[in-house]
Chain A
Amino acid sequence: MSGSLTVVGTGFLVAGQITPESLACMRGAERLLYLVAEPATKHWLEAECPGAESMHDAFWEGRSRLEAYEEVVERILAPVRAGRQVCAAFYGHPGVFVHPSHEAVRRARAEGFTAFMLPGVSAEDCLFADLGVDPALHGCQSFEASDFVVRRRRVDPRAALVLWQIGALGVTTYSVAPLWNAPGLALLVEALSEIYPAAHEVVVYEAALYPVCEPLVQRVPLADIGRAKVSTYSTLYVPPARQASVDEGMRSRLGLGVAEAEPS
């Protein structure tokens, strides 16, 4: 039988957010490789699927993250090439801020294998639910934080903004430390201050990892991000600074009345 690859996400809260579809794939796979965030998920997963193999040993202090990702991709593909039905499980959504998952699917398909990805619950999904914000109500922009700073990505303050990995600004190597670049946060604040007022309230957010825990929601003025507790699990949410105004010409072309043009 020819090899195949299914990439799944375990969400957060140990097994609390995994979908029945993803769980069935994990149980049915001949080889299961995984990367999860904490030991409880690891224990659950190994009990659920004996023989599951962690890829966490691809990461060590000071190792280039790109090099680690390359190892992860190749470790996933090796049993696929050997004709196995392989499942690769990542915490959260396997396609949201996870590089090796997408790359493994691309490479497997390029080599002629059947490969697909199943969606999971991402940290951003948890953020929207915990903060009670609808990302589509006023629009939402998201960037990787270092990329936002270095490439001066254009942000419109009339929509929400999500920045990933504010705890790892400019760092390309892996570390076990919870925060990889504290001084870099000043540069992040500087970049955001070109777009928003310094007093604009932002949220430094960490999804809850365990079922009994609350998420970490820190509301601070933009200028004080450096004083918040920031880690590599932190995501920054910046609410819109003001609402965009209606283009009256477009409103009449859409055939909408004044009241109908309000966000419902």
Chain B
Amino acid sequence: MERADCLFYLVTDPATSGWLRSLNPRARSLHDCYREGEDGTLAAGRMVARMLAPLRAAATAAGGEGTEPAVCAAFYGHPAVLVHPARLAAEQARAEGFAVHMLPAISCEDCLFADLGVDPAVPGRVLCDATDFLLRPRRFDTSAALVLLQAGAVGVRRFHSGREPSRAGLRLLAEALGQQYPADHPVVLYEIDPLPPFDPRILRLPLAELAEAPASVVTTLYVTPLPPPAPDVERRLRLQASATAG
């Protein structure tokens, strides 16, 4: 970020924005690509065009012989997790022959694991975008924890700057989960506060109260796991035998 010839960024608060500008005076926000009430994919398209523009300009000017500028794009959270402009820009840049690297970071889910004391490996976890979870029903293991990203923005495709959740979406989510979990099943509404020293918002409630719960547009829903299935005795014996053989 410090050394980049062009630094583009998309963050959620002015403090992070100010910090980025202090790191690199060439930093430019991508936030103005959004238009109130417009489909978010159009904004992502504008962001991709803006991120690729310096690479394309250098390639054209030098006839492919010159040095390409180092373009860095910084996003809040993990750039691979539900950051459509980051993924689309990486795919497009690779398709046009530019070298692309993505560096990992701490995701919203990583914060949830730490704050709720949840390990995604044991007893397992399912991660889904909440709208996708409803739109494309799949048969997931309910004895794994379920993390539904953007649970407060179900069905929302248009950008808006308010914090109110999609109430209709929460009700549909509650209805769908009610077919797989009991009404008193514990769920957690989770929301990161992006600025230190504030604590995350953690609200534990039974599934039956989800539809009318005080969520916000950035709420993540954590559904606790049901008890695991019993081990398959034959499989266990064979695995143990293979371990001693190895």
- A→B interface (CB under 8 Å): 17, 19, 21, 93-99, 102, 105-106, 116-122, 124-126, 128-130, 132-144, 146-156, 158-159, 164-165, 169-171, 180-184, 186-187, 191, 243-247, 250-251, 253-256, 260-261, 263-264
Contacts and interface: CB of A to CB of B under 8 A. Distances in A.
Contact of A142 (B120, B155, B238): B120
Contacts, number: 234
21 contacts: A93-B110, A95-B110, A97-B120, A97-B121, A102-B117, A119-B111, A125-B80, A125-B110, A132-B80, A132-B102, A135-B127, A136-B149, A141-B125, A143-B144, A151-B229, A158-B136, A181-B242, A184-B246, A186-B242, A251-B135, A254-B154
**Which of A96, A106, A191 has its CB near the most chain B CB atoms (within 10 A)?**
A96
B140 interface: yes
B35 interface: no
Given A149-B239, A151-B228, A142 B105 contact: no
Interface in B22-49: 39-41, 44
Given A122-B110, A153-B229, A183-B246, A134 B81 contact: yes
Contacts of A102: 117, 119
B122 A260 contact: no
Given A119-B113, A126-B104, A136-B128, 14 more contacts: A105-B117, A121-B105, A129-B104, A135-B127, A136-B132, A139-B138, A141-B126, A150-B231, A152-B229, A169-B242, A244-B137, A246-B136, A260-B157, A264-B84
B78 interface: yes
Contacts of B236: 150, 170
Contacts of A171: 243
A264 B153 CA distance: 14
